[in-house]
């Protein structure tokens, strides 16, 4: 018997229904985002949001980074996992979409602890002080820059910190040999890069459209 259980829509409903800590504000945000139309597909799934909260909490992260905020579902999920005083820096190019995120983050009490910077994320990352170190990073933006985000974020991640990449299965297109589109090639390149980089320990999870979780190894793990 295969160790992999293929998800049907009904089985996914069941799975999503069995997460704890339902947040009515996240449900309201998902509903408002749904009214934006097909673009709402960009939002992370509810189980993925719950996983983000859990991983942030489990890792003890105090300073988090998000690349690709949209209307704020993942940002709010990450912020929910932070301890009192923990902070999140969100990078996005859209004022319009992140104004929705801002509204929900403020309502959840994160007005002071979540900053949203409107600029290309690579510009924002380049503008940060060298001393700016993150414990947790979630990347869910322009796929063509995934490798650049990995290169920029890893030096800014504390040892044992986590960096996550969304959409790493790209609807299954990563294994379609006939698909040579830029986004597909970029995700394949990122997936190989993360797997082969000795600085991280990583696993690709079949959550939603594929989620890579990579931990930055501690210096003592890299010796020898």
Ligand X SMILES: C[S@@+](CC[C@H](N)C(=O)[O-])C[C@H]1O[C@@H](n2cnc3c(N)ncnc32)[C@H](O)[C@@H]1O
Q: Where along the sequence are the contacts to ligand X (CB under 6 A)? A: 42-44, 68-71, 73-74, 91-94, 97, 120-121, 140-142
For ligand X, which is the closer residue by CB, 53 or 69?
Answer: 69
Q: Up-side HSE of residue 112: CA atoms within 13 Å toward CB?
A: 3
Pairing of strands 211-216, 200-205: antiparallel
Helix axes 46-59, 9-17, angle to 10 degrees: 40
To ligand X, the closest distance from the beta carbon of 186 in angstroms equals 12
For ligand X, which is the closer residue by CB, 87 or 160?
Answer: 87
Distance CA 40, CA 30 (A): 8
To ligand X, the closest distance from the beta carbon of 97 in angstroms equals 5
For ligand X, which is the closer residue by CB, 97 or 165?
Answer: 97
Distance CA 167, CA 211 (A): 6
Question: Three-state SS for 67?
Answer: strand
To ligand X, the closest distance from the beta carbon of 50 in angstroms equals 12
To ligand X, the closest distance from the beta carbon of 218 in angstroms equals 28
For ligand X, which is the closer residue by CB, 92 or 135?
Answer: 92
Distance CA 211, CA 204 (A): 6
To ligand X, the closest distance from the beta carbon of 86 in angstroms equals 18
Enclosing H/E stretch for 192: helix 182-196
For ligand X, which is the closer residue by CB, 42 or 204?
Answer: 42
To ligand X, the closest distance from the beta carbon of 142 in angstroms equals 4
For ligand X, which is the closer residue by CB, 54 or 93?
Answer: 93
Residue 170 falls in which region: left (phi positive, over 0), alpha (psi -120 to 50) or beta? left
CB 76 within 8 A of CB 90: no
């Amino acid at each position: 018997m295969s160790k992999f259980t293929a998800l049907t829509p009904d089985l996914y409903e069941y799975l999503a229904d069995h997460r704890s800590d339902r947040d009515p504000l996240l449900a309201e945000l998902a509903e408002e985002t749904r009214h934006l139309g097909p673009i709402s597909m960009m939002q992370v799934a509810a189980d993925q949001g719950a996983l983000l909260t859990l991983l942030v909490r489990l890792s003890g992260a105090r300073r988090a980074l998000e690349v690709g905020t949209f209307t704020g579902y993942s940002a709010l999920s990450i912020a929910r996992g932070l301890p009192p005083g923990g902070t999140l820096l969100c990078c996005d190019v859209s004022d319009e979409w992140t104004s929705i995120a801002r509204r929900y983050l403020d309502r959840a009490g994160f007005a002071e602890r979540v900053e949203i910077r409107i600029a290309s994320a690579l510009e924002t990352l380049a503008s940060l002080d060298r001393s700016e170190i993150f414990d947790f990073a979630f990347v869910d933006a322009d796929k063509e820059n995934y490798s650049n985000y990995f290169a920029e974020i890893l030096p800014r991640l504390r040892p044992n910190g986590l960096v996550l990449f969304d959409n790493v299965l790209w609807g299954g297109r990563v294994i379609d040999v006939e698909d040579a589109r830029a986004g597909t090639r970029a995700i394949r390149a990122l997936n190989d890069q993360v797997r082969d980089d000795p600085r991280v320990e990583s696993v690709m999870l079949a959550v939603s459209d594929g989620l890579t979780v990579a931990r930055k190894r501690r210096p003592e793990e890299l010796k020898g």
